[in-house]
Structure 1
């Protein structure tokens, strides 16, 4: 059995590794070691998360997927969560989340019967928390849209300011043929930002490449 940590933040401005110390401490208290950590800056509302699926590809039956909170794994719609759960279940991966105490025993199951019972309980609670995480995501986006609408009506909304210097550097690296993984590691940008800039570079609009 291997413990694989998954650490995610939504934007390149956020520190995806923030919870690493907590995950290390959790594993250490149970006499476990984290075999690998998979880190990415992508929205939890999308299935397009290369590091998460690399983790699942690396997993073997019985491995533990360790996360800080369930919303680090999913803010997905019901259909997309069903797809991800099917992938996880097919790999027979055990999800352990620090904010879901019923999952903790799955890191060190006492016996097969106990493990199966907690796996079933954990599965139901995961579905509930995934739904709550999605509702929170939708609620925040709705409040944000309402706030922007009010600001626009008052003539105060300016939109998100781009990091021009960083984006020019990303455009230069793309023109030089640097791999996307290398660019992300060097600049900390998200894959979606990189895709937008790549599209604009291809269209010859580097000076307009924004976040």
Structure 2
């Protein structure tokens, strides 16, 4: 009888070693590690992953399959439920590091079976719901970033001068003050002052579009 630890690493901030350390700290004595890297738990079923499918080949009756949490097996409700039930039918015990849950097919009591199956379904549904929530948040963030980018392009480049500098430059120009003197007084570049002088309406509109 072997204890096999399965890890799925889908992002750069996750590591197999981190998941294994957590398992050992929880008291698990691991005989073998099977891991998949950069594989989605949503779109790729456990049996279709390079290493996940090996679990179906190597797990035998009496073995224990350890995972950090159910979402490491997958984030698809049907796939996770089907995989756990298949392992239990083979006599494999599934245990989680987080919450220390145990799932096996040994019990014959219908009430205990119902409670076990309900918990499996709940955890699988939670894994999928969490994944969908993350994807939705990501889509929202991307949409917001695109909207801001579009808005920025529409408004054009942000003015290099403030409203106060604009007003001061206009007033000094109307007084006939020289460009160098205005530059010294407002700390604006000569190019900015020329732009305000020659394209005052556009400069004013640019400030307004940026809420300045």
TM-score normalised by length of structure 2: 0.58
1:79 — aligned with what? 78
- Distance in 2, matches of 1:34 and 1:118, equals 28
Pair 23,75 (structure 1): closer, same or farther in 2 beyond 3 Å: same
CA distance in 2, matches of 1:119, 1:9: 31
CA distance in 1, matches of 2:26, 2:93: 15
Q: Distance in 2 between matches of 1:83 and 1:101?
A: 21
| SS of alignment partner, residue 32 of structure 2 | strand
Q: Is the 8 A contact 2:7 2:19 kept in 1?
A: yes
Aligned-pair CA distance for 1:52: 1.8
User: How far apart, in 1, do the equivalents of 2:84 and 2:30 lie?
Assistant: 22
| TM-score normalised by structure 1 residue count | 0.58
1:158-201 Cα deviation digits (max 9, x unpaired): xxxxxxxxxxxxxxxxxxxxxxxxxxxxxxxxxxxxxxxxxxxx
Whole-Å separation in 1 of the counterparts to 2:110 and 2:64: 14
Determine which of 121, 129, 134 is the counterpart of 1:135.
129
2:99 alignment partner in structure 1: 100
Q: Could you say if the C-alpha distance between residues 24 and 94 of structure 1 is closer, same or farther in structure 2, counting changes exceeding 3 Å? A: same
Tell me, in whole angstroms, the C-alpha distance in 1 between the residues paired with 2:73 and 2:148: 38
| Matched-pair contact (CA < 8 Å) for 1:60–1:93 | yes
Report the Cα distance in structure 1 between the residues aligned to 2:120 and 2:7, rounded to whole angstroms: 17
Is contact 1:64-1:96 (8 Å) kept? yes
Correspondences of 1:1-211 after superposition (within 5 Å): 1-12=1-12, 14-28=14-28, 33-41=29-37, 42-45=39-42, 46-47=44-45, 48-76=48-76, 78-103=77-102, 121-155=115-149
Unmatched runs of 5 consecutive residues or more in structure 2 = 151-212
Gaps of 5+ in 1: 107-111, 157-211
Alpha carbons of structure 1 residues 115 and 99: separation in structure 2 relative to 1, 3 Å: farther
Change (3 A) 1:134 1:57: same
CA RMSD of aligned residues (A): 3.0
Aligned length in residues: 146
Q: 1:51 to 1:62 in 2, by over 3 A?
A: same
